[in-house]
Each structure stands twice: as C-alpha cells, then as structure tokens.
A and B are shown apart, each in its own frame.
Chain A
C-alpha cells in the first residue's frame, strides 16, 4: 500500500438547484434554493486502499462518488487526483484512469448492446483480447456470454459485466456505488470476494459506497460516515466499528439488523432537509447527547488519535 494519497479533496462542495427558475419566477424575484448535497467534504484516499463511504439516502455519498470520477463538477473546494488539481482541462485525463460501477446492474448497461461491446466501450475501439481477458477475470465466458444482451443474464452476471467494463482499461481508481445492494444474498458474497481479488490483482484503489455497515466492514480498510452532506466520522475500519465516536455512527450500528441481537435502537426523527438543514450540527435534532453549542455552531473536524470526528463532544 503506497503512502501517497491518490485522491484528496479539500472542502469540496456540490449544490443542486432545488427547482427550476423560469423567466416568470425571475420576474417575481423568486430566490433559488439549493440542495446541499456535498457540503465542505475533505477526505483522502491512499493508493491501494478501499475507503468505505457509509451513509443513508440524502447523505451525499453518491454525489461525492460522482464528483470523484468527474461525472459532476464541484461548485467549490478543490479536488486533487494523483497530486494534480483537477481543473476543467484535466477532466479527460482523470477519466482515462477512473471507472465506476453503479448500483442497479440492469440500468447501468445499454440494453441494446451486446456484452462484449459493452465491455469494449471504454477502450474506444474493439479489442477482443482485452475484452476476453476482462470477462474471464470476472468469471464470465467470452464465447458463451459475449454475444448476449443484458436482459438474457441474471443479476449477478450483469453486475460482473459492469465490473468487467470497469476494469477493461486498467484504471487506477474505481468508485463502486452500492454494487451489491441490488443483488441477492447468495450473490453478494461472490461479488464482494471478486472485487477484493481484483483489487489485489490489478492494484486498484476503491471508493466503496454503501449503506450496509456489515458489507463496509468486510471490504473496507478505512471508512468515512456521511450525514446530510457532511463527513461526520472518518478512520480505520476496525477502530470505528469497535469504538464508534460520533453519536450518529453509534446509532447507525444499533440500527442494523444483526444476528444474535434482537433489539434495534435507531435514532428518532427523519433525515434532515438538505435545503434547509438544521443550524449548527446537522444531527442535533436527533442526537441523544445534544448540547447548546450543537444547535449554534457546526463542529469542525477534530483529530482524536488517528480518528477524525466532527462532534462537539470531543472538543
């Protein structure tokens, strides 16, 4: 594992317009409202590691993943890839070296293309050797599956095609957005093990986005927990899981159905609005340890041992 961070973000921001503002709206002075999908996120991913990005819907994890592969352009902050700041002109260079695997296997493949053409697409031209090799690495047979359409394959096989497409041009960095969430239980382990083997073999770096803590524990080296567009905890996976520091992380652990423990202890309340987040710490309305300062000021990222936590409890 190399020591240089391959990915580094500094206060990365991505806001979306909550609704369209047309001509008439402008006339009436309607103010735009912004969905703060990713709000000042600073993380690093080292070469060869798997960073598990954990969060629920609305946490911003998918948006962050898309920012890192340049499918979205940030509205603020900086993004460094291999030490270089990623500006507009650098985007093609970044795209040459990154890939993404999406959550829903069927909608991530063109239903009107053959498997072998789908896998060959990132190459820009058809190269049978490379396609065959990629397919074999994910456990698919070129002769048998190459000419099929996605709808003729099972969910597990379709996801393998997506993975083959992701590795065919030997990228350095792959963002995997919930790659096993849509798969059956008996296939999850297959695909997870495959991903881990591929990482070893091809010396890849992963950003693994998931809402499933057990999966994150299985596959990640470090984890970052996201809530309402911000990273709230960040550290070595064993540390975070054995001793979660942020109240949200603790409650998340207690919300996951786990064999052997019949009781679930989730947080109360709903996920906050990303347009009008609560003042101060975003988690304060649901936090069992809330203090006055939590309602007034957003906590900074504090370093405790090798952990980073954004919580006033640790000041």
Chain B
C-alpha cells in the first residue's frame, strides 16, 4: 500500500459501522454472509424478546406472533403434507407446520448456544491468555501445557464426553462446550498479548504507574481483541454446527421444544426418504446459518489481515 497511512477520519460510530459494511460487501460471499448473519441475529433478538414478553405476560401466543402457524398445535388431519403454498416446508407426523417449528427453534437451537459459548470462551480465554502472555514465567508454562492437553483432543469428542458426564441437559451441553472452547481463545489472546507487550506504550504505562486493572482492560484487552473478533465470527458457525450435531445424537435437548438438530435426527430416523422434508429443511437451515458465519468470518479475517481486495 502507499507509504502514507490512509486514515479513516473519525466520523463516529455509525459511520464506521457503515464503512465496515461497505468493505465487507465488496466481496459477494462476504455480503451473503453478512446478510445471513444479520437476518439470523435480528430474528433471534426479535423472537427472543417476544418469548420474554410471552412468559412475562403469561401469554404464550406472543411466541408465535410472527410465525405462520402455532408450532405446537397438532392437526392430525393435515399431517404428512409435503411442501405446498399453505405449508411452505410441509407438515410433520402430527400435522405441525415445519417452517414455524424451524423459525421458533432458531434462537435457542443456534443463537443462544453460539453466543453463550463463544462469549464465555472469550472472557475466560482473555483472562487466562492475557495474564499468561503478560506475566510469563511459570503461570504461562502451566497455561500452555493445559491448553496443549485440551487442544490435542478433537473438540466434538471432548464435548460429547463431558456432556454425558454432566447430564444431557441443555445447560450441561453449554457448559461442556465452554470447557472445550476456551483453550483456543486463550492461545489467541496470549499470542496477541505477546505482540502488544513489546509495544512502547505498554512500557510507558508501566513507567507511569498505571494500575493493573486499568492496564488489563484499557491497554491489553482492547488492543488484543481485534483478530479474536474475526475468529469468533467464524467460531459462531462452529458452535452452531457442533451443538446441532450433539442435538442430532440426542444430547442437550429440551423436552417439549422443537430443536433443529433433533428435528433433523427424527426426520432421518423416521421420515427418510418418503417424507424427506422432515429431515432436509432443518438440516439446510443449520447449514445456511453456519455458512453465513463462515463467509462473514472469512471476509473479516481477510480485511483485518490486510489481504482484502478493494
């Protein structure tokens, strides 16, 4: 690039978000990923708020206000329907509209696990990784060995094992994911911390007696987080896939509520190939959501890594 730094004039938060959007959309796959992720997040937020209101106001109908049908209502007469204009994704064996069930389940099948796991992993990883990178010494050695151990086992296997040990509940699954997920973030934060530690502004902060807490948040955390954000974006997709896989084999379910992975599993066990729409639509949904994150995360990594083409 030109020897002169091209400065982005500080025009405020909204303007910088828009310039990110423009940057991301220059690549068609990045734009696609962005659209999918934004749709997914918005839907999860709206639906989540509706559910919250529903339980607060004790009126469950708010939960399916925006859905074509009540996802729980059974209609044996209209069961086994293939996709049609009335039911875009068909109905299941007790006549429930599959599209409504899918839309209803998206927030807690995908969004909550993804955000809970990744955010927790980031927080734990930041605390451990930054302190290890900055303090060094035996604390760093200990952390490296521990993360080595965790990282040498494939994540899914570990998650399954821990899941089964911790009970097969939804929360149990989340906990087991977090346990398996934090080591990568600790490593990433540690590597970035090593880079930042060599900067003169850290030496200056030490010289001027900045308190450790302030040093952690205002100097280390905030300057190490950039590459982690890009990685986390990709990682949301990983968690969604992983959670769905576990759901598929029967772990982490919530009785009574439709769950994407479980729907796919049931569809495969009982509906394939005659009632193909029971398995196909949930699976495609999982795939699209995960793909959205992968495309977006990939594009973000390109931009942050400086490989972006204008």
Give me the interface of A with B, judged by CB distance under 8 Å.
66, 69-71, 92, 95, 98-100, 102-104, 107-113, 121-122, 124, 148-149, 151-152, 165
Contacts and interface: CB of A to CB of B under 8 A. Distances in A.
B219 interface: yes
A102 B203 contact: yes
B241 to A, nearest CB: 33
Given A95-B209, A121-B210, A151-B5, A112 B222 contact: yes
Contacts of A149: 10
B55 interface: no
B208 A148 contact: no
B165 interface: no
Contacts of A113: 218
6 contacts: A71-B206, A92-B209, A102-B204, A110-B201, A112-B218, A151-B7
Nearest to B225: A112
Interface string B175-203: 00000000000000000000000011101
Interface string B195-237: 0000111011111111000000011001100000000000000
B307 interface: no
Lowest 6 CB-CB distances: which A-B pairs, in order? A108-B200, A122-B208, A102-B200, A110-B201, A112-B222, A107-B199
A83 B288 CA distance: 71
Given A113-B218, A151-B7, A99 B199 contact: no
Residue of B203, B205, B206, B207 with most chain A CB atoms under a 10 A cut-off: B207
B58 interface: no
A113 B208 CA distance: 15
A124 B209 CA distance: 8
Contact of B205 (A66, A121, A148): A121
Contacts, number: 57
B274 interface: no
Contacts of B9: 152
Interface of B: 5, 7, 9-10, 199-201, 203-210, 218-219, 222-223
A95 B207 contact: yes
Nearest to B214: A121
Contacts of B7: 151-152
A109 B7 CA distance: 16
A107 B10 contact: no
Contacts of A66: 203
Given A152-B7, A152-B10, A108 B201 contact: yes
Given A111-B201, A112-B223, A121-B205, 15 more contacts: A66-B203, A71-B203, A98-B207, A99-B207, A100-B203, A100-B207, A103-B200, A108-B199, A108-B204, A109-B201, A113-B218, A121-B204, A122-B208, A148-B10, A152-B7
Contacts of A71: 203, 206-207
B223 A110 contact: yes
B207 A107 contact: no
A182 to B, nearest CB: 11
Contacts of A102: 200, 203-204
Contact of A110 (B10, B207, B218): B218
A95 B10 CA distance: 34
Contacts of A104: 200
Contacts of B210: 121
A112 B207 CA distance: 19
B219 A110 contact: yes
A109 B201 CA distance: 5
A107 B209 contact: no
Contact of B201 (A69, A107, A151): A107
A69 B209 CA distance: 12
A148 B204 CA distance: 19
A62 to B, nearest CB: 11
A100 B204 contact: yes
B30 to A, nearest CB: 24
A92 B209 CA distance: 8
Contacts of B205: 110, 121
B28 to A, nearest CB: 30
Nearest to A152: B7
Nearest to A100: B207
